Every structure is written in C-alpha cells, then in structure tokens.
Structure 1
Amino acid sequence: MVANDLMVSGAVRESRLILPRVSRTFALGVKLLPPRLEPPVRVGYLLCRIADTVEDDLRLSPRRKADLLDDFLVCFDDAGAADRYGAVIAELTASDDYLELVATTGHVFLMWRMLDERSRAILRRWVVEMVRGMRQFVLDHPDGIRIASLDEFHHYCYFVAGTVGHLLTELWHAHSPLVGNRTYERLLEDCEAFGEALQTVNILKDIAWDAERENAIYIPSDLLKAAGSDHDGILREERRHANRDALIPLMHLAHDDIERSLRYIEAIPAAAVRIRLFCVLPILFAIATMRELEQTEAMLVPGGSVKIARAEVRALIVAASTSTLTNPTLRWLADRVRKKPFVFGGP
C-alpha cells in the first residue's frame, strides 16, 4: 500500500512537471481550476497529447501510427500495456519534452485509474473518440494530411478539438455544483465551437510550421483552388496573395467560433469564476492572435509564424482575473483585444 501511494505521488509530481513543458498556456489554466477539477483536466490533457505526439510523428508509417493508436486505447483496460507503452519513444522523432511525456504513459494512466468513476468514464469516452478520429485521418492520408474540403476541415477539427470541448463540459457538470443541468444543456450548444475555435486559430498561425515540420496542410484544397493556388504552392512567394485570399473563409469560421466560445463562457455562472477564467484565457489569446493574423502574411512564409507578444500575454492574464467576473466586462475586454494589443501602460 505504501509503495502504491509512493507510485501515485510520483506520477502526480511527474505530470505537474511535464505539463508546462508541453503546454505553458494549458499548465497555467489548470492551476486556476478548483481542486476537484484540476486532476481530471490535467490527466485528460496529457492523454490527448500522448496520442497527438504519435499522430504527428514523421518517422512512423501510417499503418504503424494506427497500430500504436490502437495500442494506446488498450491501455484503458490493461495497466501492463500502459506501463509498456512508453517504450515506443525509441521509434519517435519528437522533441525531448514530448518523448518524456510518452515515456510516462504508464504513470498518466495510473493517475486516470485513481480518478473517481465518473471522471474516468468522461475521459475515456472522449479520448477514445478523439483517437479513433485521429487513426482514421492517418490512414486516409498516408502521404501526410492534406485537407480537401471545408467539410473535411470541420470533421478533423471535431475529432481533435470539438471532443475536448465535450470532455471539459462534462467535467464541469460532474464536479461543479454551480453547473447544473440547465447550464450544462446550454453549454452543450457551443462546447464544440469552444474547442474548435482554438484549433482553427492554431492551424491558421502555424501553416508554415505544419507544412515544413509536420508534413501536414490543413487549409482545404478547394479553398486554395478557388483562389488560384494549391497545396504544393502553399508557401510559394508568387502565390502568397492567392493563398492569403484562401484563408478568408477560415478566418470567418474562427471569428464565428470565437463568438460562440464567448457565449459558452457567458453561460457559465459568474460564481464559477475559476472555471470561467480557465476558459477565457485561451479565447483571449485566440482573439489577439486573430488580430495579428489579419494584418500579416507571415504564416505563409517558409519558417514564418505568428505570435502575440509576451507582454500582452502577461497583461491579459492579469486583466482576465477581474474582467471575467461579469459578462459585460468580459465583452469589454474581448472587444478591446480585437482592436489593438492589450498591454499595460499602452494607449
């Protein structure tokens, strides 16, 4: 019993150390959650990131990725399989931080098994849904993901991000007395948009990175074709104007999903301030990133990227802690960020 307690405490410590190394923003948000919600949200995120690391690896063949994703799902029922899964790092080309995360798969599943029954069921349902979707996309695109249409784009974003919106919403309902049945039903209307907004913004800002480092192009080929370009020309200078035009429908989609995300947050009772703050920070960062995306072509330049300044990130963290307390102040801050960078001491 003592050894088991030591193993669990070690797994918890490892997960808290690795989380900021694979996502500083998410690690910050998790710390803001109520104590009952922090463990299942942390574990859920790490499970998703392990699967995503396998999906993104450039060395693995599509068939091998599919097999490893199948093996990952077996870990929900087989603790021994979970403990052995970390050996897959010998096959991966990920960064050291992500390799370390995959190496701790057994510990992450140990933490999952230590959660309450309802949390385990929620995480299992939505992580399985995500991984099965990832698996299908890997097999459907054996030469690297190339999204063909806006419908396929929606389909992809649902599996990798809309599922996360559902996972979080079910956890709010399960563990916060402030999120009752009526609020839960309201949140379900926009929970997929909450997750997918962040995914669409990430796709837009990381076009060059995804094409060059991940062999993946998520901009639908039909949008590129309509603008006079194609996947092969996504980073060509002579097609940059056409490629920029092809992004307009996705930018509209991102704005629509951000608006629905704000409605999602507004539906969370003001008294659940820690949940609201967890949700609002990534949306504010997404709004700021969209503001920058609309003024640049850097995401279409080889090696290019679009990021908001660290000073604005710090300022938004501070401002959000008070501006999320009411819906009017939330809207004020969102509108302010849309117009210009939000930094202390600025105009």
Structure 2
Amino acid sequence: MNEKELLRRTARSFALTLGLLPQSARSEASLAYLLARGTDTIADQADADSAQRAGALRSFLASLGRTGIEGYDAEEWSRSVRDDAASRLLARMPELWRRMQSLENGALHRVRTVIGCILEGQIFDVERFFPDSPPLAGEELSRYTYLVAGSAGEFLTDLCAAHQRDFSADPLPSMRDRARSYGEALQLVNILRDRRMDAALGRVYLENRDVPRAMETARTGLAAGGDYCAALRSGRLRYALLLPALLGLRTLALLGDRGDDTLAPRKVPRREVRQWLLRALPVWFSPGRVRGLVARAAGADVTAQQE
C-alpha cells in the first residue's frame, strides 16, 4: 500500500483539507498527519494495557531528535491491530520517522513541534484515566485540548504561511491565536459528543455541571475559526478550513444546551453534511460570506434537517 492509498484509507475527513492546501505544503502536512494518526492508533489500542501504550508513546517522544524510534517494535504493534490500513501504518512508522528527520530545518521544526505536543497529550490521556479516576480539572482539560488539537491549528497556520505568499489579511500572531482556539474548540466538540460513551469507559473529561460552559467555550472557539477563515487570502483554503467549524456548530446544536444525555454519539446526518458542503461554496470566492454561514450553522433548525 503506497502512501497515497494509506492516506486515503486513514485520513477520513482530513483528506478534503489536504487536497486544498497549497501544493508545496501537502507532503509535510501528509507526513505530520500520518505520524499523528499512527501514535493515536497506539493510544487507542484496546488490546494493549495502558502501561504498554504509554511506553510505546514515550519511545516516540524520547526519539524526536533521533533517526530511529528507540524501543518501538513496529512488527509487534502492526500485528496487534485488526484494521489493515492501521496495521500497515504502524509497520511504516519507522520509515515515516526517518522521513521527518530528513526534512529541512523549518519543516523539521514544525513537524517535530506538533508531533511532540500531540504525543504529550496522548500520553496524558492514556495515563490520566484509570478505574474510578476523577474527572479532569478545568486546567487539565484546557491543556489536553491544546496539546492534541490547538497545537495542530498552530502547525497548519505556520505551514501555510511558510508556503503561501500573502497568506492572510491579518497578522500571523493573531491567526495563530485563532487557529489554536479553533483547534481546541473542535476537540471540545468531540469530547462533548462522545462524553457519555467515554464515561462508560471510565474517561470523564467533563462533569455534568461543566457542560453548558464547555458548550459556550466551543461555540466561541468555532466563531474564532470563522474569523480565521474570513481572513485567509486563498479561497480554496478558506473553504476547506471553514467546513469543520460549520459541522462543529451543527453538532453542538444537535447536542442541545445540556450536551445531550444519550450513550450513542450524536452526529450530523450525511445528508446535512452534503448540504453544508454546497452551502459553503460561495466562501471560495467571497470572504464576506463566512460570518453569515457561521451564524446560520449556529442557529439553524436542527429538527427539520435530521433524517
């Protein structure tokens, strides 16, 4: 399985974003994605105990400045997962790691930084939860969402700014701040969507009393994502990066003000996803359409659109 096929089978929703990035930025973004996806597969491997998973992740973290991944048994981890694409990805992690170390200085710094952050977040997630462990404190949740998602927003911003002249209408520091808030909000949406299922597995990211505040924090971060997209010069990038905000807002609307009480995650129906893909097309040509779409996604009637 070549890398393009591996990306197609593992990238899921990221595939659209990847295809709309500046051409020169795609290889670096693909590499960072596959590395993060591989370590996430290890973090989520139910057949390995937490000590094994944390140990493997720490091997990656300790090897950030090295060509090889000391202590990582690619063959063993590849055999441990049932999904064929995930298995092949874990087998190729040493090769991908060598590719990272061969990047030129700017790219190497960007990829090492984001992978280091994500690994710290994954290790925290694996080690923090145990039977009857208490919910995350507010500062723990903030730190976690930054490490696994806010850092990715910063990475994508730095990457695009490095590869695209006149990247945005606003200063880079402001764009990085918005990207961080946007990424954290998307992760918070995932936590809110999956919180009942996670709690059943012993992972309580949010106490019930904190759900309304988390919902509002997520809305604010997604709005920052809208502002981020409105400032982008590239129409194709604006379109690609706005879609997660629109679908995130729709997910929050489906959950309701209390964050929903059902065990099964609430997801935006596929039909509605297709509708938003079409509705967002005008932003490709007009940044002025972004805020109206964000407001519409936040306030649209969900009952009329559910299948």
Asked if these proteins are the same fold (TM beyond 0.5), I'd say yes
The match for 2:229 is 265
Q: Distance in 2 between matches of 1:152 and 1:191?
A: 20
Contact kept in structure 2, 1:54 and 1:69, CA below 8 Å: yes
Relative to structure 1, the CA distance from residue 96 to residue 83 in structure 2 (aligned partners, 3 Å threshold; closer, same or farther) is farther
Contact kept in structure 1, 2:68 and 2:97, CA below 8 Å: no
Q: Distance in 2 between matches of 1:100 and 1:209?
A: 28
The question of 1:333 aligning with 2:293 is answered yes
Amino acid at match of 1:47: L
The match for 1:41 is 29
Structure 1 residue 145, shift from structure 2 partner: 6.9
Please list the CA deviations of residues 295-319 of structure 1 after superposition, one character each: whole Å capped at 9, or x if unmatched: 787x5323x1211121221222233
Please list the CA deviations of residues 226-252 of structure 1 after superposition, one character each: whole Å capped at 9, or x if unmatched: x4xxxxxxxxxxxxxxxxxx5211111
Structure 1 residue 113, shift from structure 2 partner: 4.3
Contact kept in structure 2, 1:21 and 1:97, CA below 8 Å: yes
Relative to structure 1, the CA distance from residue 188 to residue 144 in structure 2 (aligned partners, 3 Å threshold; closer, same or farther) is farther
Structure 1 residue 90, shift from structure 2 partner: 5.4
Amino acid at match of 2:271: A
- Out of 291, 294, 297, the residue aligned to residue 256 of structure 2 is 294
Contact kept in structure 2, 1:277 and 1:321, CA below 8 Å: yes
The match for 1:154 is 142
Q: Distance in 2 between matches of 1:181 and 1:319?
A: 24
The match for 1:277 is 239
The match for 2:217 is 253
Relative to structure 1, the CA distance from residue 194 to residue 54 in structure 2 (aligned partners, 3 Å threshold; closer, same or farther) is same
Contact kept in structure 2, 1:312 and 1:341, CA below 8 Å: no
The question of 1:58 aligning with 2:20 is answered no
- Out of 315, 319, 334, the residue aligned to residue 275 of structure 2 is 315
Structure 1 residue 286, shift from structure 2 partner: 0.7
Compare 111-120 and 42-51 and name the one that shifted more.
111-120
Task: Give the aligned length.
Answer: 304
Please list the CA deviations of residues 71-116 of structure 1 after superposition, one character each: whole Å capped at 9, or x if unmatched: 2235544444389642242574564443332222133334434544
Contact kept in structure 2, 1:186 and 1:267, CA below 8 Å: no
Structure 1 residue 68, shift from structure 2 partner: 0.6
Q: Distance in 1 between matches of 2:132 and 2:47?
A: 11
The match for 1:231 is none
Relative to structure 1, the CA distance from residue 265 to residue 145 in structure 2 (aligned partners, 3 Å threshold; closer, same or farther) is farther
Please list the CA deviations of residues 206-237 of structure 1 after superposition, one character each: whole Å capped at 9, or x if unmatched: 1233334x5422114xxx3xx4xxxxxxxxxx
Amino acid at match of 1:261: G
Q: Distance in 2 between matches of 1:295 and 1:181?
A: 34
The question of 1:98 aligning with 2:86 is answered yes
The match for 1:232 is none
Gaps in structure 2 of 5+ consecutive residues: none
TM-score, normalisation: structure 1: 0.77
The question of 1:197 aligning with 2:159 is answered no
Amino acid at match of 2:262: V
Percent sequence identity over matched residues? Answer: 24
Structure 1 residue 167, shift from structure 2 partner: 1.0
Relative to structure 1, the CA distance from residue 15 to residue 110 in structure 2 (aligned partners, 3 Å threshold; closer, same or farther) is farther
Gaps in structure 1 of 5+ consecutive residues: 1-12, 228-245
Structure 1 residue 254, shift from structure 2 partner: 0.8
Relative to structure 1, the CA distance from residue 327 to residue 181 in structure 2 (aligned partners, 3 Å threshold; closer, same or farther) is closer
The match for 1:3 is none
Relative to structure 1, the CA distance from residue 128 to residue 210 in structure 2 (aligned partners, 3 Å threshold; closer, same or farther) is same
Structure 1 residue 165, shift from structure 2 partner: 1.2
Structure 1 residue 63, shift from structure 2 partner: 2.8
Contact kept in structure 1, 2:231 and 2:287, CA below 8 Å: no
Q: Distance in 1 between matches of 2:206 and 2:258?
A: 17
Q: CA RMSD in A?
A: 3.0
The question of 1:179 aligning with 2:186 is answered no
The question of 1:169 aligning with 2:157 is answered yes
Relative to structure 1, the CA distance from residue 144 to residue 132 in structure 2 (aligned partners, 3 Å threshold; closer, same or farther) is farther
Query: What does residue range 213-232 of structure 1 map to in structure 2 within 5 Å?
Result: 215-220=202-207, 224=208, 227=209
Contact kept in structure 2, 1:183 and 1:268, CA below 8 Å: no
Relative to structure 1, the CA distance from residue 138 to residue 129 in structure 2 (aligned partners, 3 Å threshold; closer, same or farther) is same
